[in-house]
Structure 1
Amino acid sequence: MAVKDFETSKEGIEIQFATNHIGHFLLTNLLMPKLEAASPGARIINVSSGGYVLSEVRFDDLNFEDGKSYIPWLGYAQSKTANILFTVGLAAMLKKRGIYSFSLHPGLIFGTNLGLHLDEESFKVLAEIGLERGFPTLVEDERPKSLSEGCATGLVAALDDSLEGKSGAYLSDCVIETPMEYARDSDNAEKLWLLSEELIGQKFSY
């Protein structure tokens, strides 16, 4: 989350996009035979973040000009947008197989290792970017949650029977929310799927 210095995976992919999306993409697809065996009713849950509002997926420049224009929060945000788009793509592809997918924002949660790179200056930058993107109270709007509260939306996504028939939904505070257009656009979801296959050098079709 908001890794301060530009890094890449050993494959040359910006580290937050590699960790938060590409790794999930590959693991999910490798697990597909087991998910199919557990269906109908298996669920794939992608933990995104409300921070996705800070950036679309930078399809033409994932690596920020090889780090020259790298901004930590934007790297994080594009990976979280990717989590939502991946969910949209999975929901469309797996609908007939009885496998469902949901993405979610767990909330602002301290006391984990996710925020190791964060300090007071990081939150100032976050507020500035939020203001530029049209979210002037982005930081203030987030009431910190306890670890138990932070688990709640994930548990709803995984277990709540009322979500049946709503595959592809994005949840926050335990209810469905409508993400911004670029994060739910089916064309963007397909574009991300193809890009992800290209980056790992393996194709998956269902």
Structure 2
Amino acid sequence: MAEKPKQHPSSITGIVHRYLLMLSLTRPLFFTLLVLTKPTQISRISSLSSMSSNSSQVDPAFLQNALSSILSAPHISFPRPPAGLPNIRMGHGPIDLFSTRFVNTFTDDATGVVAGQEVDKEGLKAALLSLQKKWQSDSVKFDEQEATVSDAAAGERKLTTAFTWTPRQESGTASVKASATVKEVGGAPRIHTLSLDGDAALFSS
């Protein structure tokens, strides 16, 4: 059986050069990445791209977990210092877990709507604090959560949920519907806007 003629190295080099030329004309961006990237890193490009696209994905249960965490956290009210003194606590002492979780859950410019009224971040905190006073975690039932794209350009997603529970010292049940836009800040999801729909009395002390 006759042996197939071997291709000369120069002919192989010519084929490679023609392929690279065609690639540079048809897919210039990919060609640039191919030239600048080390062979061992090429396989990482697709995985990094996939991670980037998945970073905008937020767990549908994020809103439920965030609200449950804040509303079940104890709140400690520290007395205001006398006029003229800085509002700084020195040394060891109790931690206001409610405020800590609230700060870590919301963006700095968070806003919302509570029982039809627009509020700023402090208004959201006051509404959740009032709701916490009526909260009983052992009787809460959350409905199925939903997640949709809110603003793809800004990397935001919209989450909605609803929950019912038996308020403290009451026999009837209360219900609240919540919806939020969530975006990534510092590598972690944060609530940018929050809407709470329910009896206005639930959100006032």
TM-score normalised to structure 1 length: 0.23
Name the one with the larger strand percent. Answer: 2
Name the one with the larger helix percent. Answer: 1
Give 1 or 2 for the bigger CA radius of gyration.
2
| More relative contact order, 1 or 2 (CA 8 Å, 6+ apart) | 1
TM-score normalised to structure 2 length: 0.23
